[in-house]
Amino acid sequence: MASDGDRILSEDRLRGVLDLFERLRERPPWRWRERLRPLLLLLGPGRATSHAVDLLKSRCEDERAPVSHIAAETPATDVAGVLREAKRELSQPSSRARGEPALRFPLLEMALWLRDLREIRIAGDRPAPRGASSSERENHLLVRRLTHPPVGDNENARRRELNRVIRRRGRDVLRDLEEVRSRPATFLSFLEQIAPIGIAVVALISAGTAAALDLASAVFAAVIGLGFVAVQIVARTRGWYGVRRFAWFLEQPYVDRDSTGFLGFALGVFDPRPVEPDDHGEQLDRLLVAAFLEDLRRNYRRDYRRAAWARVRYPVVIFEHLSAGHPGVAFVELVERARADSQATGRLPGFDPLIIVAGVDPTAPAEDDPAAPAGPRLVDRLAQAVRVDLSSSEPQSVIAARGLWDRYAREQRRVGVLGSRRELRVDITRDPGGDLPPVRSVRRRPRLTHPALPWIAMVAVAAASVSVISVQVMRYCSPFGIRRMAGGECVGITDGSFRFGEDSGGKNNDNRLNKVLDAIEGQNDHVKESGKPFTTVVYLGPVTADPSIKNKRIDLLAGVQGELIGLAIAQQRFNDAAEGDDLRLRVLIANAGARFRYAEPVAQQIHDLALKDRSIVAVTGFEQSRKQTQAAIKLLAKSALPLVGTANSYDDMALLDGGAGYSPYYFRLASPNMRTAAHAAYWARHGDVGGKKVDDAMVIYAGDRDDLYSANLATDFQKAFRPGKTLMRPYRNPGELNRSVREACQDQPDMFYYAGRSDEFRSFINVLELSCPKRPLVLADDEIAKYVSDNAAELGRKNTFDLFFTPLAAREAWTWRWIGDQSPQTFYSDYDPAVRKMTDDDASGQRPSITRAAVSYDAATLIATVAGKVYWQEKALPSATSVFAALDDPGHDVLRNGASGVLRFGSRSTGHQVVDRPVILATIKPDGTTEVKQVCGRLVARGQGRADCPPAGRASGAPSR
């Protein structure tokens, strides 16, 4: 029967050893629980330890866990050989799970390569041996270049040559693998580490940029970010990092060097010294071991890399059977010395994940010399090498007692890292019998560290980013409060830098506002750069054309174009007159969309902005009388902002609910419909329209329920025209309009009173020209001034009907007949140069409305003038409250020389109407010019020409209550 020392136990009887092995190499899920593992010594004869080691190795290989098996008869003759073999096996595909990157040893490879170069240098000018690998031949050539002229006699040239080779070899410096990793494999390895996180970050940055800036900035951020990721990958795969990767060597104490930098260190290792210390070879071995441990630390460091968290098994180096002359003994000793090297400096040894298992004959001697007398055993030598040395327990003197506590605390910390003992011994031949529990189940890789997860997350984040950017593109036209609405219009607030209309390259009129927006933006920039005090006026209007109009040449943007030009002229005149610390004027443009569809949400934007930007003192515009405009006025009144309407003429505009009267903050420049209709009816009944008295009229008006203007004006005209007969014909679409006109022409009235919108005026006159047997007479309100601006020449040239209208303002009213020898308003002298500057060279069909320009100019000028007055009176920046107080003064003219007349606001009870607002009757002559027939109201403060006007009571324009 075999003795216990000769027994080889089966795998079933070695369950305890296997369970211990699994506990040793299982990595804790939390970093704070990681500790250095002790040395596992398997005691027994060679056959027994070989059997046990094979079982341990098989378990690792079955799991594809990192393991290196160093045979008892290993070809390695020194520590460097052991490290080469361990590195090679730990880097093999069999030592990593599928989809996981291999362990990498860049520091160890560099140290081994420098050692190889040193060995070649010491051997002299011997050629590479026959059958040497290409890597060995390259090493011999490099040594020759580094030691012979012209490179060898110049230190800088040697550094450059060494650096060149390092960069060329890239990530595979040593080149000792049988199958060198291809560059694509290296690329994919780093792509797995960098690309998912990098692209996800790029996607998030791009999405954030799209939300904060615009699409172009998002694309730019994405290109820059992806470019950075690509450079990182390419640089790492091609070794562009060069020597910067090896800065760790400069912190190591093992090799002395005479120059700075890694290249100086490398040449210090390469060049043998005339007199070297006796332990120089040992120091090199210690450097190799330290590099090996540092590489393992980096491979297992839990940082941003998924692979580091996926490694749930520590790397194992298994020595099949150690004897006194085996290089593994020196390896074990040097590993433990490297772990304890920091003891002298007081620093704790850094954690490394290496596990060492060694088979040892318990009777083997510690020395390899057969002639040596019997002495300590090898197992005791290894135990001594890994022992945790503690200070002596001898009593200290009263002086030395001062340092006892620090020494005690330092030892406790060291024990906390290294453990109280550093080796575990198992006699693998002893089996007391009995049942053994199964080996504990091993810890699996966490699901969150699956190799596919970063790619899934990357795709998800990238998809989310693309979705966010798409939403931004679809929902927002610009980051600064410009939203894309369902109809495709861009609405919101701009300082002129955003162009609301798409540029068609001149094919349509959709870019006709660009130049005036440029002018306003430039003036705003000048105000900002001046550093002087300023006040801000917000213009709210329909800055985009109706998307339903396919023919953009009839987009009827002449009205808003005129209002913007009026704003720009007022801003420039006010700012040009400012000197020193005088107040300046800034203008913001708020697009409410065509037909004021989005006036309420844009008004909310203005309201929110006014709470943040206290320089905003008023809002102007509101040119269309619609329900949305009414809602916007009520909302903005909550901000206590003065609101100045330009062309809004609905009688009850700004009338509050619940019998509260008119909003105190709304001031209207346009005559109410009642006043305008009274004048129009009077002139028609008394022969001022067309040269003969009109007895019956057909009133055309829009039946849109959101349109407050059209039906209100039509009703007011019907009342004022009595006892004349009126036929009321509403329309809801161009088809109904055409049918009504054709039917009316069968029994043609004396006059058509057009109270509809300018959008349908072209359709109206086309049917009129084709259907009426007699030359039609048309009277219209200021609304068609937008159409007249773009089509005056065509109207005069065709001359198929007589057109009269009542514009809010007219340059032709500032003639001798109406103002005598007084100077005309300066606005009109500035207007033509401004139009040439702020419109395209070919202005055919794109003439801005001078009528709307005049009232917009008046609105901006009166706000700026009042704000400037408040600024100098109060010696402080004007506020919305102070500007409102100055406007709400019915006893004084707020603007005596307005482009549309003298401006003095009435009381709140009348809706802050302009007192005795001019009402003008004009017509289009055959040459396309405008002729003013009548001017009723205060155009100038004194000396105004006489006109045929209705009695004061009938034309007061006071809304009925």
Q: What is the CATH number of the domain that holds 704?
A: 3.40.50.2300
Which of 245, 272, 297 lies at the terminal end of a domain, its last residue? 297
Task: Give the sign of the dihedral formed by CA 478, CA 480, CA 482, CA 483.
Answer: positive
Listed residues 297, 327, 361: the one ending a domain: 297
Sequential DSSP letters for 5-35: GG----TGGGHHHHHHHHHHHBPPSSGGG--
Sheet holding 534-541, edge to edge: 476-478, 482-484, 490-494, 584-591, 534-541, 616-621, 643-645, 666-668
Residue 436 lies in a domain: no
Q: What is the DSSP letter of 101?
A: P
Mean pLDDT in order along the chain per 10 residues (961 residues): 64 89 90 85 92 92 92 91 94 83 89 91 84 86 90 88 84 66 52 60 63 59 66 55 76 76 86 79 91 92 81 93 92 89 53 92 83 76 81 76 82 72 88 81 81 75 72 66 80 89 50 89 95 97 80 68 96 94 96 92 95 96 95 93 96 89 94 96 96 95 94 96 93 92 94 94 93 95 90 88 96 94 89 90 70 96 94 93 88 83 91 94 94 96 92 58 31
pLDDT at 850: 94
Give me the numbers of helices (H) and strands (E) for the chain, helices first please. Answer: 28, 22
pTM for the full predicted model: 0.63
Q: Which of 371, 279, 400, 278 lies closest to 334 in space, CA to CA?
A: 279
Establish if 748 belongs to a structural domain: yes
Token readout for 846 is 């794109």
**Which residues share a beta bridge with 490?**
484
Name which of 324, 333, 326, 370 is nearest 78 in CA terms: 326
The residues that bridge with 243 in the sheet, in sequence order, are none
487 & 628 share domain = yes
Would you say residue 894 lies in a domain? yes
Q: Which secondary structure element, helix H or strand E, spans residue 911, and what is its range?
A: none
The answer on 624 and 546 residing in a single domain is: yes
Going from the C-alpha of 20 to that of each of 15, 37, 38, 442, 753, the distances in angstroms are: 8, 12, 12, 12, 103
The alpha carbon of residue 785 and the mean position of all alpha carbons in its chain are separated, in whole angstroms, by 44
| Total structural domains within the chain | 3
Instruction: Tell me phi and psi for residue 667, to 5 degrees.
Output: -125, 125
Nearest to 479 by CA among 464, 497, 466: 497
Quote the tokens at residue 901.
């007349």
> What radius of gyration, in Å, describes the C-alpha atoms of the chain?
47
**Strand (E) or helix (H) holding 322:** strand 316-322
In this structure, are residues 720 and 952 in contact, taking their beta carbons and an 8 Å threshold? no
Residue type for position 675: R
DSSP designation for 958: P
Whether 583 and 567 share a structural domain: yes
In a domain, 86, yes or no: no
- For residues 144, 149, 152, 153, the Cα torsion angle rounded to the nearest 10 degrees is 160
Q: Is 406 part of a structural domain of the chain?
A: no
**DSSP code of 653?**
T
CA 342 to each of CA 114, 290, 293, 337, 708: distance values in angstroms, whole numbers, following the listed order: 25, 12, 14, 9, 88
Please check whether residue 539 is in contact with residue 620, taking contact to mean a CB–CB distance below 8 angstroms.
yes
**Residue 527 placed within a domain:** yes
- The reply to whether 370 falls in a domain is no
Residues 647, 689 within the same domain: no
Same domain, 774 and 853: no
Q: What is the pLDDT of residue 557?
A: 83
Considering 267, 297, 327, which residue would you say is the last residue of a domain? 297
CA 794 to chain centre: 50
Residues in the chain: 961
**What six digits make up the tokens of 191?**
């792509």
What DSSP character marks residue 132?
-
The torsion region of residue 715 among left (phi > 0), alpha (psi -120 to 50) and beta comes to: alpha
Residue with tokens 């005559």: 671
User: CA-to-CA distance for 819 and 44, rounded, in angstroms?
Assistant: 125
Shared-domain flag, residues 693 and 828: no
Instruction: Give the residue numbers spanning the domain of 577.
Output: 480-670+823-915
| Strand, helix or coil for residue 85 | helix
Same domain for 647 and 506: yes
Please tell me the number of Cα atoms within 13 Å of 878 on its side-chain side: 31
Residues 803 and 827 in one domain: no
CA distance 576 to 523: 10
* Same domain flag for 656 and 681: no
Q: Give me the amino acid identity at 704.
A: D
The alpha carbon of residue 586 and the mean position of all alpha carbons in its chain are separated, in whole angstroms, by 28
Q: What is the CA angle 761-765-766, rounded to 5?
A: 115
CA gap 721, 725 in Å, rounded:
7
Do the Cβ atoms of 458 and 199 come closer than 8 Å?
yes
Query: Which helix (H) or strand (E) is 265 found in, with range?
Result: helix 261-270
- 665 with 680, same domain: the answer is no
- Is 339 inside any structural domain? no
**CA of 44: how far to CAs of 6, 362, 466, in Å?**
8, 6, 64
Are 796 and 924 contacting, i.e. CB atoms less than 8 angstroms apart?
A: yes
Predicted pLDDT of residue 195: 58
Q: Which has the closest alpha carbon to 884: 645, 675, 643?
A: 643
Is the domain of 576 the same as that of 611?
yes
Report the Cα–Cα distance between both ends of the chain, in Å, rounded: 126
Assess whether 715 and 743 both reside in one domain.
yes
Cβ-based burial of 444 (10 A; exposed 0-12, middle 13-18, buried ≥19) = exposed
Q: Is the dihedral of CA 781, 787, 790, 793 positive or negative?
A: negative
DSSP of 601-620: HHHHHHHHHHHH-TTEEEEE
914 Cβ partners below 8 Å, 6+ apart? 668, 669, 671, 901, 903, 904, 905, 906
